[in-house]
């Protein structure tokens, strides 16, 4: 119950703020925007290419562990 109250209190603190949120905004040309978009896509592709084998490896390891546990229960 205490953890729920703490979580609720944290959520309330986030929503009760009345401060003005500001962020620096820079004007860029359409060419710069295209370049930044390409860089972002390249980063996403690189992250995916690195993440997918790791996820697949963890999945295969988990399946292997589950099968071993089932065999131990059955055996």
Q: What mean pLDDT comes out for the span 4-26?
A: 64
Average pLDDT on 46-65 reads 92
As given in the structure block, the two tokens for residue 9 are: 């209190």
The pLDDT-based confidence of 28 (bands split at 50, 70, 90) is confident
Q: Which two tokens stand for residue 47?
A: 């992250």
Quickly state the pLDDT bin for 16 (edges 50, 70, 90).
low
Asked if 36 and 28 count as a contact pair (C-beta separation under 8 A), the reply is yes
- Supply the pTM of this predicted model: 0.45
* pLDDT of 11 above 70: no
- Across 23-50, average pLDDT: 88
């Amino acid at each position: 119950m205490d953890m729920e109250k703490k979580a609720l209190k944290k959520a309330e603190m986030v929503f009760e703020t009345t401060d003005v949120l500001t962020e620096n905004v820079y004007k860029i040309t359409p060419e710069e925007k295209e370049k930044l978009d390409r860089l972002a896509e390249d980063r996403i592709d690189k992250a995916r290419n690195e993440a997918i084998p790791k996820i697949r490896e963890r999945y295969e390891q988990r399946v292997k562990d589950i099968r071993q546990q089932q065999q131990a229960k059955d055996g």
